[in-house]
C-alpha cells in the first residue's frame, strides 16, 4: 500500500480532535514499545553465541528421555 504522508495527514485532520489525540497516544505507545524492544536486543547478545547452544542440545536430549 503506497500512501503519501500528505494524504495520511489530510485524512487524520478530518477526524475529531479527541480521535486525533487518541491516535497520537497509540502511535507514541507503539513507538515506545519498539524502542524498548530495540534496547532489549542488546541485553541478549550472548544468546547468539554458538557455544551457548550446548544448553539447547542438552534440553532436547532431556525431552527424549521422557
Q: Report the share of the chain in percent with pLDDT over 90.
A: 41
Could you give the number of structural domains in the chain?
Answer: 1
Quick check: 15 and 23 in contact, CB under 8 A? Answer: yes
Go through 6-16 and write b for each residue having 16 or more CB atoms within 10 A of its CB, e for each that does not.
eeeeeeeeeee
* pLDDT value at 1 more than 80: no
Structural domain range at position 10: 5-65
* pLDDT value at 61 more than 70: no
pTM, two decimals, is 0.53
d(CA 22, CA 4): 22
Amino acid at each position: 500500500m503506497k500512501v503519501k504522508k500528505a494524504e495520511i495527514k489530510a485524512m487524520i485532520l478530518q477526524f475529531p480532535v479527541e480521535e486525533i489525540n487518541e491516535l497520537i497516544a497509540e502511535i507514541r505507545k507503539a513507538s515506545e514499545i519498539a524502542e524498548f524492544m530495540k534496547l532489549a536486543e542488546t541485553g541478549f547478545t550472548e544468546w547468539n553465541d554458538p557455544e551457548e547452544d550446548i544448553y539447547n542440545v542438552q534440553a532436547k536430549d532431556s525431552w527424549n528421555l521422557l
